[in-house]
Amino acid sequence: GENSEEMKELFQPLIQGILELAMRQYTAASENGHPPSDFVLTGGFARNSWATTYLFSEVQKLVPRMKCTTEVA
């Protein structure tokens, strides 16, 4: 199985970068009167269930009403 601490250590820098980018976009859109209601994660990263669960929990700590989904081709 996946060791949560190992997964966190592996993905933390990437997750932190995604959170920073998402919050910059959220703030900019909100300041323009269009606060986003959805956070959609795409691509290969979206295939990792541990990483998406952790990322979505962090997003919802920052924006509690944000709807989080994945879109994988």
What pLDDT was estimated at residue 45? 86
Which SS3 state, helix, strand or coil, does residue 41 take?
strand
Which amino acid is located at 9 in the chain?
E
* Reported confidence tier of residue 72, pLDDT bands at 50, 70, 90: confident
pLDDT at 1 over 80: no
Percent of the chain as helix, strand, coil, to the nearest 5 = 65, 15, 25
Q: What is the pTM of this model?
A: 0.84
User: pLDDT tens for residues 2-50?
Assistant: 688 888 898 899 999 999 999 999 999 999 999 999 999 999 889 999 9
Q: What is the pLDDT of residue 39?
A: 96
- Please state, in angstroms and rounded to a whole number, the distance separating the CA atoms of residues 23 and 66: 12
Strand partners, 41: 70
End-to-end CA distance of the chain: 25
What is the mean pLDDT of the segment spanning 65-71? 95
